[in-house]
Amino acid sequence: MKKFFLFGISIVLLACQQQSNTDLKTLYSLPKKLKEVSGITYFPETNMIYTLEDSGNKNEIYAINSEGKLEKTISITNAQNVDWEDITKDKEENIYIGDFGNNDNERQDLCIYKVAKAELSKENAVSEYKVSFSYPEQTEFPPKKKELFYDVEGFFEYQTYFYLFTKNRSKGFDGTAFIYKIKNAPGTQKAVKIGEFKTCNNYNHCVLTSATISPDGTKIALLSHDKIVLFKDFNGDSFNKGTQTEIALNHFSQKEAVIFKDNNTLLIADEKTNKIGGNVYEFKLK
């Protein structure tokens, strides 16, 4: 579930390597029925994206073609949409739904659902298994207002693990984000914190809303409302130990979803808010 605040737009730069780019190309508008898209994943052989909506919406995923038309609606009959915040897939094109939206940091039922590729041809699909998890560092539900670190809106699957990037909702926001690692296996697990980093101290510009890894595994792209944070030149899964680059999109909207189309091209989706957004965009990395 999202709470979107806009207190005025300003240009905020990270204390890291900079790159500016204005090549955000609008591909198409999202179907009008999808008002709260919260994640996308991409299937190159059909040139379609699969998407979902967050809390208050149905337990469904949607296939959208390259013209923005809704091709298919798939109901996940054994999964509840408490707060679906992102969607990703593995190398075998099984889909994973991240039910880990946690605005108030109160939830103790965080999970990820696996939907096998074969189920995507059905109108009524079943989740093959559920991965339930918790954060060992969180001991209060909710924590103090200055320690609201345990919401997530972005993740991906990579080499049989899930990587989650937290959305900081703390009072006195300073851009701190955690990286957690979870084994892609059914059952209950404790997420392992493998790193942390900072963006900037302006919530509107630097809070993280989605995450993706390039097909070749060499780049991580994290999305905010008007920029991309890009990690490169890392070893293994020490993503935050590589170079951290900010890419200004020069376009402010409620961006909620990002996926690599290929190793150098991103697809980005935003919600329509105050007549702004509700589109899918293409962005080529320089």
* Per-residue confidence (pLDDT) for residue 214, from 0 to 100: 98
Calpha distance 5→23 (Å, rounded): 25
Q: How many helices (H) and strands (E) does the chain have?
A: 1, 23
* Per-residue confidence (pLDDT) for residue 2, from 0 to 100: 53
Query: 4-29 burial string, b = 16+ CB within 10 Å, else e?
Result: eeeeeeeebebeeeeeeeeebeeeee
245 close to 17: Cβ distance less than 8 angstroms: yes
- Which is nearest to 283 in space by CA: 225, 272, 269? 269
* Per-residue confidence (pLDDT) for residue 89, from 0 to 100: 98
Q: Cβ atoms within 10 A of the Cβ of 185, count?
A: 11
Residue 138 CA neighbour count, 13 Å, CB half: 29
* Per-residue confidence (pLDDT) for residue 9, from 0 to 100: 36
DSSP secondary structure string for all residues of 48-69: EEEEEE-TTS-SEEEEE-TTS-
Residue 157 CA neighbour count, 13 Å, CB half: 22
Question: Which run of H or of E encompasses 203?
Answer: helix 203-206
* Per-residue confidence (pLDDT) for residue 286, from 0 to 100: 87
Tens digit of pLDDT per residue, the chain (286 long)? 554 444 333 333 344 445 555 689 999 999 999 999 999 999 999 999 999 999 999 999 999 999 999 999 999 999 999 999 999 999 999 999 999 999 999 999 999 999 999 999 999 999 999 999 999 999 999 999 999 999 999 999 999 999 999 999 999 999 999 999 999 999 999 999 999 999 999 999 999 999 999 999 999 999 999 999 999 999 999 999 999 999 999 999 999 999 999 999 999 999 999 889 999 999 999 8
Calpha distance 277→254 (Å, rounded): 7
Q: Cβ atoms within 10 A of the Cβ of 102, count?
A: 28
13 close to 266: Cβ distance less than 8 angstroms: no
Q: Cβ atoms within 10 A of the Cβ of 263, count?
A: 12
3-state secondary structure of 5: coil
Q: Cβ atoms within 10 A of the Cβ of 91, count?
A: 10
Say which DSSP state 32 is in: T
Q: How far is CA 256 from the centre of its chain?
A: 7
